[in-house]
Structure 1
Amino acid sequence: MELKFRVSGRIAKPVAEVFEAVVDPAKLSRYFTTGGAKGRMETGATVMWSFHDFPGEFPVRIVDVVQNEKVVFQWEANEGPEAGPPYDTTVTMQFEPLEDGRTLVTIAEEGWRETPAGLKASYGNCEGWMQALCAMKAWLEHGINLREGMFK
């Protein structure tokens, strides 16, 4: 069984504003990367993300960026050191403008090993990406940072 998932949500802001909230490190740090983000997400770049719930900086390798449409990146699967040699999963974020002015954001991730550790890691990331969508919505629509103080 291939381990992958997709989550989505609608944000009551134009697609350009939602897209910028992801690719701009200063904006991403306001609601998602609780430890901060360094580097703008552009095709071929490697940016660094940090989270209070997973201390330390994580390299995020940007595979493809299409302005106001999608961001594709790879990062290391979080299975723990006992799971074997490290490997990457692929995340695809898509941004679709809706007729009512809102934006549909869809986040898919795939590429885990088909092992109990891979399954557990995929569930953890699925939970995390849904939380990221909720945090993005709260911040963009209401200026509220849902993750502040949650993990530290």
Structure 2
Amino acid sequence: MTRPSFRIAGRIAKPVSEVFEAVVNPDRLSAYFTTGGADGRLETGVTVHWDFADFPGRFPVRVARVEKDREIVLSWAAHEAGEVSSTGKMPEAAGYDTTVTMTFEALEDGRTLVTISEEGWRETPGAVKASYGNCEGWTQMLCALKAWLEHGVNLREGFYR
């Protein structure tokens, strides 16, 4: 079995500085993605907490590196079961972290190409399932970012509950 990983990408019709700021700024991130809030700006070496209305509980996010308008590298606890329990809570952490890398590329036409990858899961069926769930979540984040920046629409509002 190969270690699970994924990469998604999309283009947003805004300048790279605006797209980047919409991810690192907790107020902006909370407007379209961390619907339960984000408690700090993404900066190298800090740990922030993200909360999602659809997955109750605060998630610690450790920021390994931020390069303005170019890259964000963070890590967070892996959850191998990959499913929310009947109580609406995420399964217990699996005892290791995955690494998320976001890159931002200014395109010639003024748009920004955002690429998000995640890796580091173990080679288990539960980890594979969890990686699919995270791929879905990051795809939703990228779609929500595009809708919010280009049209002022919060796609996640009312989506889950």
TM-score under structure 1 length normalisation:
0.96
Corresponding residue number in structure 1 for 2:97: 88
| Letter of the 2:100 counterpart | V
Aligned to 1:124, the other structure's residue is in SS state helix
Picking from 118, 122, 130, the partner of 2:131 is: 122
| 1:98 pairs with 2:107 | yes
| 1:148 pairs with 2:149 | no
| 1:111 pairs with 2:120 | yes
Q: Unaligned 5+ residue runs, structure 1?
A: none
Distance 1:48 1:24 in 2: 13
| Letter of the 1:91 counterpart | V
1:41-60 counterparts in 2 under 5 A? 41-60=42-61
User: Conserved in 1, the CA contact under 8 Å of 2:65 and 2:73?
Assistant: yes
Distance 1:107 1:75 in 2: 14
CA apart distance, 1:53: 1.7
| 1:138 pairs with 2:147 | yes
User: Conserved in 2, the CA contact under 8 Å of 1:10 and 1:103?
Assistant: yes
Distance of aligned partners of 1:31 and 1:63 in 2 relative to their CA distance in 1, 3 Å threshold? same
Task: Could you list the structure 1 runs, at least 4 aligned residues long, displaced by more than 6 angstroms after superposition.
Answer: 81-84
Distance 2:121 2:140 in 1: 20
Percent identity between the two aligned chains: 66
Corresponding residue number in structure 2 for 1:29: 30
User: Conserved in 2, the CA contact under 8 Å of 1:6 and 1:109?
Assistant: yes
1:91-144 deviation line (CA, Å, top 9, x unaligned): 000000000000000000000111010000000000111111100000000000
CA apart distance, 1:82: 7.6
Q: Unaligned 5+ residue runs, structure 2?
A: 82-89
TM-score under structure 2 length normalisation:
0.91
Count matched residues: 152
| Letter of the 1:56 counterpart | G
User: Conserved in 2, the CA contact under 8 Å of 1:83 and 1:117?
Assistant: no
| Letter of the 1:7 counterpart | I
| Letter of the 1:37 counterpart | A
